């Protein structure tokens, strides 16, 4: 069952990375989501390292926290639809989308970190 979840998460984060190829700043998003996908792919083959997934989880969590002001603005605006086009009147839409994407990545990496045995190491 864990192997199936690892495959599913790897595919989901590959899709996330691919969807960000047309983003105005694709490099950082493709790198972030691609790294998560790679870690899950390694876990499929028993090559996970909980130190790496743990540190990436912390890094993405810190990055996610930098978008908290936009998330709070969205909540204060009574959570309007996030499927609208980005507009100057609603600048928080992009930050909320990015916050939620990173939140999903942090949750997934938390799962990977705690489901990987202590002795599992790359190399």
pLDDT in tens, 11-26: 999 999 999 999 888 9
Report domain extents, the chain: 2-115
Token pair 């969205």 is found at 74
pTM of the prediction? 0.87
Token pair 């970190």 is found at 113
Q: Which two tokens stand for residue 43?
A: 């876990």
Please give the Cα distance from 107 to 21 (Å, whole number). 23
DSSP string for 101-115: HHHHHHHHHHHHHHH
CA 30 remoteness from chain centre:
10
Whether 9 and 44 have beta carbons less than 8 Å apart is answered as: no
pLDDT in tens, 75-108: 888 888 777 665 546 677 788 989 999 999 999 9
């Amino acid at each position: 069952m864990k192997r199936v979840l690892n495959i599913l998460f790897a595919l989901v984060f590959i899709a996330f990375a691919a969807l960000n190829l047309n983003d105005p700043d694709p490099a950082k998003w493709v790198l972030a989501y691609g790294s998560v996908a790679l870690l899950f792919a390694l876990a499929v083959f028993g090559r996970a390292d909980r130190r790496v997934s743990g540190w990436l989880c912390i890094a993405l969590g810190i990055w996610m926290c930098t978008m908290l002001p936009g998330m709070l603005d969205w909540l204060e605006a009574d959570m309007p639809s996030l499927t609208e086009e980005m507009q100057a009147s609603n600048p928080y839409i992009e930050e909320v989308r990015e916050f939620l994407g990173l939140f999903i990545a942090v949750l997934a990496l938390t799962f990977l970190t705690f489901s990987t045995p202590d002795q599992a190491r790359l190399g």
